[in-house]
Structure 1
Amino acid sequence: MTDASLPLLADIEDAARTVYQEFQPTPQYRWGLLGERLGTECWVKHENHNPVGAFKIRGGLTYFGQMAQRGALPREVISATRGNHGQSIGWAARRHGVACTIVVPHGNSVEKNAAMRALGVQLVEHGEDFQAAREHALYLAAERGAHMVPSFHADLLRGVATYWWEFLRAVPHMQVAYVPIGLGSGACSAVAAKRALGHRVRLVGVVSRHATTYADSFAAGQVVAAPVSTRIADGMAVRVADPQALALLMPHLDHLVQVGDGEVAAAMRALFTDTHNVAEGAGAAAFAAALQEKDALRGQCVGVPLTGGNVDAALFAQVLADETPAPV
């Protein structure tokens, strides 16, 4: 995938019509207390305010929408996830009457698993991390003759780009935006929306210090696998960067920031205290990165997406009590 294959403005606008059949644009607010913490103007895009509590739902809707337009809806889809992508695919599969199996690693979020099952998903637990779950999903898809839904694909980007399209249109004077990187769909969609709108915002990538495949791959100029030990940012717990995403991101991100679990937990507490919104670990990573760089942000308009709020209650209670589990 190259820059030329990123969704254009017309593609994103068409994707928005598909997304808005299920829910309306999510809000973005300028939060005063968060601004005081940063020492500058701070806007938050609330992707926690949609039907599955995370931005991924947009991609699932457009992925299935494109299959339906082509008359190519399968009888069954299979995919792998740490939770939010699986909810997205489960939601869209249910809407189109397609059977759905999702593979998650052992020890996955109890509440994300429950949410997927509630959407009619057949859940399979396999492996110790996302990469192992993904490989098993590929095996099951081949064995059953089912359609394997990837975690990174142009038809997913079309939908995910709609949230950045909303955000950048709502805050045309935004100067810096922090973009969490899991497997890459959210970050690549930020690039697509920026290009489509001709927005001048600087995009800063955010990775977990305990899942550094993208940081290591950026440094090497090619995909480098890295161990995953984060206990809190499961949405960023990727062991192997996607080569297509890497190629798209390297020319367009201003720089990368690595955030540790302690910083992410502090950002989760700050978001709850200042806005009374619940952020999962990956959902708070953008604000954690902004806090890390706040001395360089004075006088600038900063945008941070709260990409999801799907954190298990027990873990969130530990975070609020400042008892965050250490990385493994």
Structure 2
Amino acid sequence: MMEGMRRELLPEIDEIRAAADLVAQYLPQTPQYTWPQINARAGRRVWVKHENHLPVGAFKVRGGLVYMNALRQKLAPGSTVISATRGNHGQSIAVAARENGFRAVIVVPKGNSLEKNAAMRSQGAELIEFGDDFQAATEHAMTLEAEHGWHRVKSVSRHLVAGVATGFLELLTTHPEIETMYVAVGMGSGICAAMAVRDGLGLKTEIVGVTSSAAPATARSFAAGRVSEAETSTRIADGVACRKPDGEAIETMLSGVARLIEVPDEAVEEAMRIYFADTHNVAEGAGAIGLAAVLQDEGAGGVCGTVLSGGNVDSDVFARVLGS
């Protein structure tokens, strides 16, 4: 049963390559650098994949483009798609919906990032604010789906994973020597994508999931082997904060993720400062959490990789982090 679910969620390598051809029509390949100062801090060579250089500042748009292109076979032009987000997924859906002729409605929790909200609106999304966290926003999106017959885009699905996997395809085909890949885990599209590429290329790369110790639901679910809910309290890593993980994503992780590291907010903020000092790149909390895990994982050797998955941090938040 687990293997069956795993193959339902993970695309084959031919699907990923087809997705890469589609994504290339819209987006350039992102750079991957190894930075001397980061290598010195880590005590090993670290390859950083700069998904923050994409036009929306984050990796999610890859998945949105592949998903919406496939959806054109099912929905009429002008149909409404709905999804819930804290920001980067919402930008992805807004951009991809616009490119494919759909209307995008995005539910965000109250108090969500003002700058991420503005970015989603600028891409054509209609925003609805509901609930106190991502889970409440998700449940409201499900209600609106049922009431209006809209198509709901979940946080993780095979098409989304195929799109996100195109970034890992760029990295791991260029640097197959990477022994350990540290991947931030929110709802799971990123880490499932890393697994799909690793398996599809026949590599032995160890996939390590990274999440916030102040958002423990994913770590508890991974340890228990089943979905476990937990409240979130992270002040900086909202992109990986979920109260209830996706069950299929957890099963997929159990089939191919070596381990999961929890990182405290203080280490995430330090990683944000390091990215800025050592590379002059802006990283949001979830974008820097992979590097935080690299630096925390003392004793691990060999060449490793991580993804600066997004740079969409509010100005006042980033100023506070840099000044602390």
* Structure 2 letter corresponding to 1:2: M
Query: Which of 177, 191, 201 is equivalent to 1:173?
Result: 177
Query: Which of 43, 60, 75 is equivalent to 1:39?
Result: 43
* Structure 2 letter corresponding to 1:317: A
Aligned match of 2:306: 304
Aligned match of 1:4: 7
* Structure 2 letter corresponding to 1:318: R
Q: Any unmatched runs of 5+ in structure 2?
A: none
| Matches for 1:78-89 after TM superposition, within 5 Å | 78-89=82-93
Distance 2:76 2:6 in 1: 26
Q: Give the secondary structure class of the aligned counterpart of 1:79.
A: strand
Query: Which of 243, 246, 259 is equivalent to 2:247?
Result: 243
Q: Give the secondary structure class of the aligned counterpart of 1:123.
A: strand
Distance 2:6 2:244 in 1: 21
Distance 2:13 2:77 in 1: 26
Deviations 1:133-175 (A, max 9, x none): 0011111122122111111111111101111111111111101
Distance 2:279 2:218 in 1: 30
Q: How many residues align?
A: 320
Query: Which of 109, 112, 137 is equivalent to 2:141?
Result: 137
* Structure 2 letter corresponding to 1:234: D
CA contact (8 A) 1:67 1:73 kept: no
* Structure 1 letter corresponding to 2:7: A
The reply on whether 1:53 has 2:53 as its aligned counterpart is no
Distance 1:14 1:261 in 2: 38
Deviations 1:160-197 (A, max 9, x none): 11111111111111011101100001011110010111
Distance 2:76 2:21 in 1: 20
Aligned match of 1:202: 206
Distance 2:77 2:285 in 1: 34
Aligned Cα root-mean-square deviation (Å): 1.1
Distance 1:313 1:75 in 2: 35
Distance 2:306 2:77 in 1: 35
Aligned match of 1:325: none
| Matches for 1:187-266 after TM superposition, within 5 Å | 187-266=191-270
Deviations 1:276-326 (A, max 9, x none): 000000000000001101x3134x10101001000001000000011xxxx
TM-score by length of structure 1 reads 0.95
Alpha-carbon shift at residue 3 of structure 1 (Å):
2.7
| Matches for 1:49-128 after TM superposition, within 5 Å | 49-70=53-74, 75-128=79-132
Distance 2:75 2:113 in 1: 35
Aligned match of 2:287: 283
Distance 2:275 2:139 in 1: 35
CA contact (8 A) 1:74 1:147 kept: no
Aligned match of 1:161: 165
Q: % of aligned pairs identical?
A: 50
Distance 1:241 1:74 in 2: 31
TM-score by length of structure 2 reads 0.96
Query: Which of 316, 319, 328 is equivalent to 2:318?
Result: 316
Deviations 1:60-108 (A, max 9, x none): 0000111124566561111100000000000001111211110000111
CA contact (8 A) 2:156 2:187 kept: yes
CA contact (8 A) 1:179 1:304 kept: yes
Distance 1:69 1:139 in 2: 24
Distance 2:168 2:313 in 1: 23
CA contact (8 A) 2:107 2:128 kept: yes
CA contact (8 A) 2:78 2:101 kept: no
Alpha-carbon shift at residue 4 of structure 1 (Å):
2.3
Q: Give the secondary structure class of the aligned counterpart of 1:204.
A: strand
